[in-house]
Structure 1
Amino acid sequence: MKSTQNWRKSFFTIYIGQGFSLLSSSAVQFSIIWWITMETGSAMALTIASVIGLLPQAVIGIFAGVWIDRYNRKKIMIIADSTVALSSLLLGFLFIIGIKSIVFVYIVLFIRALGETFHKPALQAVIPQLVPQSELTKAGGLGQMINSACSMAGPMLGAFLMSITSLQYALLVDVLGAIFAVITLSFVKIPKYTVNNGSQLSFIKDMKQGINAIKSSKALLRLSIPMLISTVIFVPLGTLLPLMVKEYFNGTAWHNGIVQTLFSSGMLIAAMVIGITGGLKKQFFMISLSTGLLGICALIGGILPAHLFWVFCFVVFVMGATGMGFNVPFTSYIQRTVPAENLGKVISLVTSIMSFAAPIGMFIAGPISEIIGVSSWMFYAGIVMIFVGILCYFLTREFDNQLYNEVMSNEK
């Protein structure tokens, strides 16, 4: 069994490096999107950028998991970080010599998203190789805490960089972040696991093995249903917040900044609490409870009078926190129960499905919000989420005691 000291040392070494990489990537991503906004002033240009950022995970992510399980995950992470850095370096060079084409910017956005498609599942698949099963939820909370902090600080850093310099020099920050991440990762010794060398199974059969791994887990299948519905509802809630602030509360960019910061702060603090405490021992119940609380928050947000903006701010903070309440234990359950040789495939497959669910949610929420208003959408979405939380509880409660006993026995 992995010792507490060893896993913490390796875990934090990896995440300190990845934190710097994520911070720099978040800053550069903001800088690129801001450059597109300033250069084109086109909503279509930004929409294309968003779609390009989504495509690799939604389409290639299904297949990426096979490579993640077949080959050295540490090397995959290093290659992914290095590829993203080189693409930023190349774009910076093109800008310096005067080639400022939005087509090249789109290509770099695609490469960045492609690197993330391999990097994130590989990182999640590596964690159970380092962390004892009883500590996986804590580790997931700590990892999400670092991710949330970097995602919150990244845009501010990006805004600062674009205020003092131009995009070509802001891109160099991404290179520095990637170099630091690769160096720290190189020092971490990751335990080996049995790798499918590709001669035993064809690529398609290997991918089917990942699908079968999901099918073989009755609890995971049942849990996936409310998680999928939650993604369809939750993503539009976060995306439509600026519209809610502007149209319903007659807010300004400053008000929207407060709301976005509070939403991210809720995620950060919830991740920190889960990272320190491990959350509720009955983790399926924690997922159900968080889903129901998100629904209650959305319902309250939808019926608040327009003059109670500061109450809405508190509601948004709690909404951000509840997202961690079902995301972290869901991921840790996959890490705990799926065999190491299939973990990359399963995480990539689940992430890809969620990536498809997110735009579906937007396609549903967008037109409905246009017709009935954003506040009404939040109200009805809240009702749906409350029922999803109840559904999740009844679908998974028979597995909760079993999971609770496993967690408690691993802690002894």
Structure 2
Amino acid sequence: MTPPPQTALPAPDGWRTFVWLWGSQALSVLGSAVAGFAFSIYLTVTRYPLAEQKPQLALALAATALAWGLAATLSAPVAGTWTDRHDRRQIMLGADLLGAALTFAMLGLLLLPAAPLWTLVLASGLMGLVSTFHGSAFDASYTTLVPKDRLPRANGMMQTIWSLAGLVGPALAALLIGVPALLRRSEALPAWLSGLRDGVPFAFAVDGLSFVLAAVILSRLSVPSPKEVTDRSGLQRSFREDMTFGWTFIGSRRPLLALLLTFAVANLCGSGLGVLEPLIVKFGLAADWQARGSTLTAALATLTVTQSVGGVLGGVLISVWGGLKVRRVLGVLVPMIASGLALAAFGLSSTVLGAALALFALGLTYPAMNAHSQSIWQAQVPPAMQGRVFSVRRLIAQFTSPLSTALAGLLAARYAGGSVAVLAGLLLAGVAAAQLFNPVLRRVEDGPAALASAAPESRIGG
């Protein structure tokens, strides 16, 4: 068996570069959160406002989310292989610019009286594709920039940004959506804005500009790209061989595969929340927020913000604490059990306050779960292989997300959204609890993965 190759050390100024890169992505993530919330409001309030349009609303929510998820998931192996073969900075830069172009195209669609649903679905799918290429290059750049002892902190920082975007995004989106109405009341609406029903296009303009700003910052940074791994004869591998490499690497390591399958179940149970939440707010919690003189937009923003507050708090805690140094798998499974119970509690809620508390607990669990999982993978996979391996990891862990979205849309169109959430939450908590006793999964941190698998013809260790 050939000896494992040495892992490249992070760049001397890698932490500073990572902080700048993290900041640039924070802008993009925030912009996407603003646009995502505004799009949900567009579909729920503007496009399908009537109670009898519930089936059409469920279809639109599910179809656009499904297009994004399928494109993002199925393109992962290609994106990972491309990442390991090309300059990672250039990939992220190109993805930011394409993301800006697609966002501005979506803005144009929303300015139409009624854009065909298929165009919105297509745009969502293309955004998912671009996001996967960017995410693959970004995820594979951590270990080339960040010292090993700071990886949990870096992962926690990124989890914090996702949660912070969920906190700030809905509030900013709600503010932008209400701008035309405020101007109309003050009779200060400019003539060129007189045709706007709401400020949803403003939210997409903010998202597009955030992509542009992220690209400008990234253009000033230096992000190392490890040398491409060759086969044992020193010859360059074919693109097809590299696409299968990640499957071989993970398939020969049962503990890593068990961890991925656990996340696949988690995504099956939890990814439908984006479809269920607007429906639960509109139909299941309507009596409560109407009795309080509130609106659907305000209620939905309250829940989204509250979940994000939990996520921000969880992200800050994991960033300051640094996470578990050993038995990190417990940092994955215990929060996963808690998240399943919180999802079930959300489904059982009959008031906005009860639903908000449940989503706060749900958001609190995500950073610890994801940061510990990411740290496990970063410790097991050398930097030059992370694009290919992480892309397959994403595909296996997230292939159930589009299925979850489709099932949520179908079930919520026929049954109460709260009942669907309760069932999903209890299933997630049960599976995660059972995995605590899985001897294979408990070995996921027994030592670095054998890197002799770099040669396709060599025997792969466990």
Give TM-score, length-normalised by structure 1.
0.83
In structure 2, what is the equivalent of residue 75 of structure 1? 90
- How big is the shift at 1:60? 1.8
Choose from 323, 342, 345 the match for 1:297. Answer: 342
In structure 2, what is the equivalent of residue 269 of structure 1? 313
Please show how residues 4-403 of structure 1 align to structure 2 within 5 Å: 6-32=13-39, 34-35=41-42, 40-41=47-48, 43=57, 44-89=59-104, 101-102=115-116, 105-164=120-179, 171-196=204-229, 200-237=236-273, 239-245=275-281, 247-249=283-285, 250-252=287-289, 253=296, 254-281=298-325, 282-301=327-346, 306=350, 310-364=353-407, 373-395=416-438, 396-400=441-445
Give distance in 1, aligned partners of 2:343 and 2:45: 33
Give distance in 2, aligned partners of 1:158 and 1:298: 25
- How big is the shift at 1:140? 0.7
Give distance in 1, aligned partners of 2:155 and 2:380: 15
Structure 2, gaps ≥5 residues long:
1-8, 49-55, 180-192, 290-295, 449-462
User: Cα–Cα, structure 1 residues 172 and 133, in superposed 2: closer, same or farther, change >3 Å?
Assistant: same
- How big is the shift at 1:75? 0.3
- How big is the shift at 1:74? 0.6
The range that moved more, 115-124 or 387-396, is 387-396
SS at match of 1:194: coil
Amino acid at match of 1:209: F
Structure possessing the higher radius of gyration over alpha carbons: 2
The range that moved more, 239-248 or 45-54, is 239-248
Give distance in 2, aligned partners of 1:294 and 1:276: 21
| Residue pair 1:142, 1:276 contacting (<8 A) in 2 also | no
- How big is the shift at 1:266? 1.3
The range that moved more, 155-164 or 202-211, is 155-164
- How big is the shift at 1:162? 3.6
Give distance in 1, aligned partners of 2:107 and 2:421: 41
Amino acid at match of 1:265: V
Higher helix share: 1
Give distance in 1, aligned partners of 2:245 and 2:20: 32
| Residue pair 1:136, 1:336 contacting (<8 A) in 2 also | no
| Residue pair 1:295, 1:385 contacting (<8 A) in 2 also | yes
Structure 1, gaps ≥5 residues long:
404-412
- How big is the shift at 1:144? 1.3
Fraction of identical pairs, as percent? 25
| Residue pair 2:337, 2:433 contacting (<8 A) in 1 also | yes
Give distance in 1, aligned partners of 2:312 and 2:121: 30
User: Cα–Cα, structure 1 residues 378 and 85, in superposed 2: closer, same or farther, change >3 Å?
Assistant: closer
User: Cα–Cα, structure 1 residues 29 and 301, in superposed 2: closer, same or farther, change >3 Å?
Assistant: closer
User: Cα–Cα, structure 1 residues 185 and 202, in superposed 2: closer, same or farther, change >3 Å?
Assistant: same
Give TM-score, length-normalised by structure 2.
0.75
User: Cα–Cα, structure 1 residues 114 and 364, in superposed 2: closer, same or farther, change >3 Å?
Assistant: closer
Structural RMSD (CA): 3.4
Deviations 1:102-152 (Å, cap 9, x if unpaired)? 465554433322211211121111111111222212111101111221233
SS at match of 1:116: helix
User: Cα–Cα, structure 1 residues 39 and 298, in superposed 2: closer, same or farther, change >3 Å?
Assistant: closer
SS at match of 1:240: helix
SS at match of 1:251: helix
In structure 2, what is the equivalent of residue 409 of structure 1? none
Amino acid at match of 1:258: T
Deviations 1:313-363 (Å, cap 9, x if unpaired)? 323211121122322211222222112222112222232334430232345
Task: Give the number of aligned pairs.
Answer: 399
SS at match of 2:436: helix
